[in-house]
Structure 1
Amino acid sequence: MRILVVGSGGREHTIIRKLKESPKVDKIYAAPGNGGIAKDAECLPIGAMDKQAIVAFSKENAVDLVFVAPDDPLADGMVDTLMANGIRAFGPRAEAAIIESSKVFSKNLMKKYHIPTAEYETFDDPAKAVAYIEEKNKYPVVIKADGLALGKGVIIAQTQKEAREAVKEIMEDKKFGASGNHIVVEEFLTGPEVSVLAFTDGISLVPMVSSKDHKRAYDNDEGLNTGGMGTISPNPYYTKEIAEICRKTIFEPTVAAMNSENRTFKGCLYFGLMITPDG
């Protein structure tokens, strides 16, 4: 098989390393790749968002499968374009990728289908968001940009002043661009975080090993969220009992909910979990 992996980060490098282990794989390309990836695959001068160039290269070089890993090209319809041109692709279509590209969509989906999630409200007006936060008067409070922000679009405000500043930065100053046109204001949950990725074909679901993601910068988690400061795996807090509860109440219901919305998700689905005192 000839495989093209779209992306240029550590995630894509790991995927390529694993794909190389398969005896079925003859050639791996990366678009655009990076210096490290160049040791394991042929890097191409094609951007991860350049759908037409990726389609053209795939056709000209008889690529058997395109593995689309980053969120941005998935949300932009990379898989849709590839499949429309008869090219096999791994990853969700844009209509399904919205579950990871829009926090407003994912929160509303969980509310509609009774999937456990933190209490929240969504806003497209900064004044209304601030008024809601001040009315609740509970701190810390979590303020999230709706769209993709490289894992950095979440601010945990410790005070009313910080909350006001966070809303202004995201919605008015456009710190995260158009991703901040809408925000989610969410209750702050306490407890160990758990990250679980799962393969799904839209019907069955197979979780990978759990991990504990450390996202906030600086010692004692005093900084802003980042794309990730490191992980440990498996997560010591994610027991077999908790895994079974998550499968029945979160994982499988999410796949079913996406099917009910005619947004069948096929690919690798991310679940960000918190183990709180209440469950």
Structure 2
Amino acid sequence: MKILVVGGGGREHAIIRALKKSPRCSEIWCAPGNGGISYDAHCKAIPATDVDAMVKFAKEEAFDYVVVAQDDPLALGMVDALAAVGIPAFGPDKAAARIEASKVFSKDLMKKYGIPTAKYETFDDPEKVMDYIKAQGKYPVVIKADGLALGKGVLICQNEQEAADGVKEIMLDKKFGASGNHVVVEEFLTGPEVSVLSFCDGKTVKPMVSSMDHKRALDHDEGLNTGGMGTVAPNPYYTPAVAERCMQEIFLPTVAAMQAEGCPFKGCLY
């Protein structure tokens, strides 16, 4: 099989290394790729978010399969565009990708289907955000940009001034672009974190090894949230009992909810 992997980071390099182990993989490309990836795959300098150029390239090169690894091209509908020209791809279509691309969508989905989540409200008016935060009077408070922000669109605010600064940064200064047009204001939860990625076909859930992601920068977790400062796997807190509870209360209900909404999730669900 001739395979194209879309992206240019460590995630894509790891995927390429794994794909190369398959005897069915005869040729592998990556777009845009990077210097390190070029040792393991042919690279093509096409931005991951340029859906039209990527699909044109995939069609010209007659790829048998495409792995869309980055969130942004998934949110832009690259899987849909590839399907339209007859090229199968790994990853959710645009409708299903909303569960990662829109925090408002995912939170509303969890509320509607009774999937455990922190208490929250959504807003598109900066003044109403602050009215709500002042009325709640609970700190820390979490403010999240609705859209994709490379893992950095989450602010944990310790007081009213930090909240006001955060709202200004996200909604008025547009630090994260259009991702900040809508925000989620969420109650602050503390405790051990667990991340689980699962392979999904729209109905079935097959989890990978659990991990514990360290999000915040600086010593003593005093800095901003990031895309991840480091990871431990497997997660020492993720016992078999916790895993079973997550499967029954979170994983399976989420996949069923996406089906019920008419956008079954196929790909890797975080």
Give TM class, smaller chain.
over 0.9
Aligned match of 1:2: 2
1:183 aligns with 2:214: no
Aligned match of 2:208: 208
Q: What is the identity, as a one-letter code, of the residue corresponding to 2:181?
A: N
CA distance in 2, matches of 1:168, 1:53: 36
Deviation at 1:143, TM superposition (A): 0.5
Q: Deviations over 1:48-75 (max 9, x none)?
A: 1222222222222221100001110000
Q: Deviations over 1:159-199 (max 9, x none)?
A: 11101111111011111111000000000001100000000
CA distance in 2, matches of 1:147, 1:139: 24
Q: What is the identity, as a one-letter code, of the residue corresponding to 2:22?
A: S
Deviation at 1:243, TM superposition (A): 0.3
Q: What is the identity, as a one-letter code, of the residue corresponding to 2:21?
A: E
Please give the residue correspondences for 1:61-140 in structure 2 after superposition, counting only pairs within 5 Å: 61-140=61-140
Please give the residue correspondences for 1:159-170 in structure 2 after superposition, counting only pairs within 5 Å: 159-170=159-170
Aligned match of 1:55: 55
Aligned match of 2:228: 228
CA distance in 2, matches of 1:115, 1:249: 7
**Percent identity (aligned):** 69
CA distance in 2, matches of 1:73, 1:247: 28
CA distance in 2, matches of 1:257, 1:167: 31
Aligned match of 1:158: 158
CA distance in 2, matches of 1:102, 1:8: 23
Contact 2:140 2:188 in 1 (8 A): yes
CA distance in 2, matches of 1:53, 1:170: 31
Contact 2:141 2:187 in 1 (8 A): yes
CA distance in 2, matches of 1:107, 1:59: 37
CA distance in 2, matches of 1:62, 1:175: 39
Q: Which runs of 5+ in 1 are unaligned?
A: 271-279
Q: Helix, strand or coil for the counterpart of 2:4?
A: strand
CA distance in 1, matches of 2:182, 2:59: 39
CA distance in 2, matches of 1:202, 1:248: 16
Deviation at 1:33, TM superposition (A): 0.3
Aligned match of 1:275: none
The RMSD of aligned alpha carbons is: 0.7
CA distance in 2, matches of 1:102, 1:14: 26
Q: Helix, strand or coil for the counterpart of 2:244?
A: helix
Deviation at 1:201, TM superposition (A): 0.3
Q: Helix, strand or coil for the counterpart of 1:249?
A: helix
Q: Helix, strand or coil for the counterpart of 1:227?
A: coil
Aligned match of 2:264: 264
Please give the residue correspondences for 1:16-55 in structure 2 after superposition, counting only pairs within 5 Å: 16-55=16-55
CA distance in 2, matches of 1:53, 1:104: 30
Aligned match of 2:173: 173
CA distance in 1, matches of 2:229, 2:166: 22
Deviation at 1:252, TM superposition (A): 0.3
Q: What is the identity, as a one-letter code, of the residue corresponding to 2:18?
A: K
CA distance in 2, matches of 1:178, 1:193: 28
CA distance in 1, matches of 2:213, 2:174: 27
Q: Deviations over 1:42-99 (max 9, x none)?
A: 0102111222222222222221100001110000000000001000100000000000
Q: Deviations over 1:125-169 (max 9, x none)?
A: 111100110111111111000000000000000111101111111
- TM-score normalised by structure 1 residue count: 0.96
CA distance in 1, matches of 2:5, 2:26: 14
Contact 2:258 2:264 in 1 (8 A): yes
- TM-score normalised by structure 2 residue count: 0.99
Q: Helix, strand or coil for the counterpart of 1:193?
A: coil
